[in-house]
Amino acid sequence: MAEQLPYKPKQGEIPTNPGVYRFRDRDGRVLYVGKAKSLRSRLSNYFAPLHTLHERTRRMVLTAASVEWTVVASDVEALQLEYMWIQEFSPPFNVRYKDDKSYPFMAITLADEAPRVIVTRNRRIPGAKYFGPYPKVWAVHDTIDLMIRVFPIRTCSDASYRKAMTTGRPCFPGQIGRCGGPCSMKVTVEEHRAIVDDFVSFMSGGDQRFTRELTRRMREASAAMDYEAAAVYRDRLQAIEAVLNKSALVLAADTDADLFGIAEDELAAVVQHFVIRGGRVRGVRATTIEKELDISGPDLVDQVLQRTYGDAAAADIPRQVLVPSLPEDAADLELWLRERRGRNVTIQVAQRGRKAEFMKTATLNAQQALILHKTRRTSDYVARTQALTDLQEALGLAEAPLRIECFDVSHLSGTNVVASMVVFEDGLPRKDQYRSFSVSETTDDTDSLHQVLMRRLAYLDRPEDPEPEPEVTADGEVVVARRRPRFAYRPQLLVVDGGRPQVEAAARALADAGHEEIALCGIAKRLEEVWLPGEDYPVILPRTSEALYLLQRLRDEAHRFAITHQRRRRRRDIQSVLSEVPGLGDARIKALLRHFGSVTALKRATPDEIEQLPGVGPKLAAAIHAHLRDASAVV
């Protein structure tokens, strides 16, 4: 492989100005678009020696046949031009976005003579004001039903409105009390417009003003003994409270912010976008991103903000944007958003208080969505079939690996060494055939892996267990004992968590056990490289490959199972140590662990803190503390 790219610009040709660059292939297709404060500094990274580049970046620059750049006057102009070109060319090596679904919105058609409220997935209605997105269509309808009790605005179709205004007869929704537009013959166009303005103001976060006003009117009507009017105001207040209860107050009442929680791995990311207006969550949106090149967290935030606000109306850009990490050009992004909004915008990291707590909630939602995305992808029959076929071709197997076993070794600072074996059949997990191993003596991870594989492969040479004989009970019922799923089923592929050293250790185990006919590979986490035994270079699967998703899911499941086994062992260890304390029974041991939440917290607790637990006196607390301190074997 040549270390010099033929299209590398000559020294001094690349300017030091800010600008935007594009890599193109031989057919002129744009492969990647990026921006830089200094084009020379940024592009020099792509033309470093090839062996030093990330595997994905290396594939991009080797696919490209040319690079070009455009100098701009400022960093903000570079940001705008990058966004425009990404939208125009859809470069395959830039991050790609996939909305989980087309979300429903509540829209107010402000451009109409008599604006109406509708449920829509179309974000391009001229002059419309949008609220949402909402997770479900029924959630929008429920909100509208409650809102029109307080702000009776038009809900009928345009055809019904025109017919009513022409004939002078109320529209059908107006006759049954479901439409409050001028077509209901109860308000004028001007009066209706004022109600619409209040509706929009309320949905934009001005709920406290309306609550206070309705409360005042209800009390005045009640004092004047106009109980019918007071009941109307009471019903409207209850409707407002119902709407507010559907979107609980999470931040200060004057907070207008967009909050982005992000969860990512080497192949994909999920962005959980919470729209907060007036301190309340007005909309939630999840977006899945497929990453082709290696991209850092701050750079990912940069791309997310560009995409979110690139085509957004000024009214949809909040005063505050909360992100998990600040992009390098955060100041330029703030200036860009300020120009689009017409008012000040700040980009911040939520570090403490309620905003930080809410960021944790958004991140947790993103993590769960990422797991769901990966699970759905590996559970789909077509995707599973494609994954096994791709894996067969990539690894040069004679047949698709219908049974795959993946192994992972886990330890805690060299102690409590355990290993896990997870089994996938036809691309799906077989949890009843998972196994865990304890490793008592070992030198390193490769030695542990060799030991575990030798123990597992030994079962392949054991004779089949005989079928259990049926037993006949006294009443003549025939009972056949169910045989436990076999540990001796032969896998077509072994996968180990790790790179070349782990694969070579596994290959030695296969050779020592006399089962070299079983295929083997390893997946290294940092670059998601697939290693084969005896090879000097890894196999690089495309990031959108179903085979890579399957291998990643296997690796992650094996790691999860190993960690679970290790924690269970540590919990048993601490329970056995505590059981040696006189006067401490099983019930109190469980209460201690439940109270402190973890073994580490219990070990760090003082006698006074342990004494706070009901039923534990000063003497027993001192004994527990001393026993834990002296039990050096506990990890």
415-455 pLDDT, tens digit each: 678 888 998 887 888 888 888 888 878 788 888 889 999 98
Could you give the CA distance from residue 321 to residue 334 in angstroms, rounded to a whole number?
9
pLDDT value at 150 more than 60: yes
Instruction: Please give the share of the chain, as a percent, with pLDDT higher than 90.
Output: 5
Residue spans of alpha helices (H) in 275-349: 297-309, 330-341
CATH architecture observed for domain 19-94: 3-Layer(aba) Sandwich (3.40)
Exposed e or buried b per residue across 388-400, where buried means at least 16 C-beta atoms within 10 angstroms of its C-beta: bebbbebbeeeeb
Q: Going by C-beta distance under 8 Å and a sequence separation of 6 or more, which residues neighbour residue 62?
A: 5, 50
Contact 336, 113 (CB under 8 A): no
pLDDT of residue 292: 61
507 by Cβ neighbours in 10 Å (0-12 / 13-18 / 19+) ranks as buried
Read off φ and ψ for residue 99, nearest 5 degrees. Answer: -65, 140
Contact 140, 118 (CB under 8 A): no
Give Cα separations from 326 to 118, 295, 323 (angstroms): 37, 14, 7
Provide the Cα torsion 570, 576, 578, 579; round to 10°.
Answer: 160
Handedness of CA 541, 546, 551, 556 (dihedral sign): positive
* pLDDT tens track for 471-488: 545 555 544 444 544 566
* pLDDT tens track for 119-135: 887 777 888 888 766 65
* H/E stretch holding 386: helix 381-395
Picking from 394, 396, 440, 385, the residue whose alpha carbon sits closest to that of residue 415 is: 440
Please tell me if the domain spanning 19-94 has the same topology as the one spanning 579-630: no
- Report residue 102 as tokens: 């087309």
pLDDT of residue 196: 87
Could you give the CA distance from residue 257 to residue 276 in angstroms, rounded to a whole number?
5
Cis peptide before 133 (omega within 30 of 0): yes
Mean pLDDT (the chain) is 78
Across 79-103, average pLDDT: 70
> Which of 77-86, 187-196, 357-366, 370-379 shows the highest mean pLDDT?
187-196
Contact 47, 8 (CB under 8 A): yes
Q: Map out the domains of the chain as residue ranges.
A: 19-94, 105-205, 257-375, 387-464+486-567, 579-630
Which residues make beta-bridge pairs with 493?
404, 519
- Report residue 63 as tokens: 């696919």
Least confident of 52-66, 159-173, 511-525: 52-66
* pLDDT tens track for 322-350: 999 888 888 888 888 888 888 889 998 88
Read off φ and ψ for residue 577, nearest 5 degrees. Answer: -70, -45
Least confident of 94-98, 176-180, 326-330: 94-98
Could you give the CA distance from residue 361 to residue 251 in angstroms, rounded to a whole number?
13
pTM of model > 0.85: no
Question: What CATH code is assigned to 579-630?
Answer: 1.10.150.20
Least confident of 17-26, 58-67, 261-270, 327-336: 261-270
pLDDT of residue 488: 61
Pairing of strands 435-438, 529-531: unpaired
pLDDT of residue 633: 37
Q: What superfamily does domain 387-464+486-567 belong to in CATH?
A: UvrC, RNAse H endonuclease domain (3.30.420.340)
Instruction: Please give the share of the chain, as a percent, with pLDDT higher than 70.
Output: 78
Across 491-506, average pLDDT: 90
Across 259-273, average pLDDT: 83
- Report residue 577 as tokens: 């140590």
Least confident of 176-180, 184-188, 233-237, 481-485: 481-485
pLDDT value at 221 more than 90: no
Contact 454, 513 (CB under 8 A): yes
Give Cα separations from 401 to 392, 491, 517, 574 (angstroms): 7, 8, 13, 41
What angle is formed at CA 81 by the lines to CA 76 and CA 82, rounded to 5 degrees? Answer: 95
pLDDT of residue 25: 85
Find where tokens 């192994």 sit: 407
Question: What CATH code is assigned to 257-375?
Answer: 3.30.420
* H/E stretch holding 408: strand 403-412
Could you give the CA distance from residue 69 to residue 23 in angstroms, rounded to a whole number?
9
pLDDT value at 572 more than 60: no
- Report residue 553 as tokens: 């899911």
> Which of 76-80, 337-341, 461-465, 610-614 shows the highest mean pLDDT?
337-341
Pairing of strands 128-131, 105-109: antiparallel
pLDDT of residue 249: 46
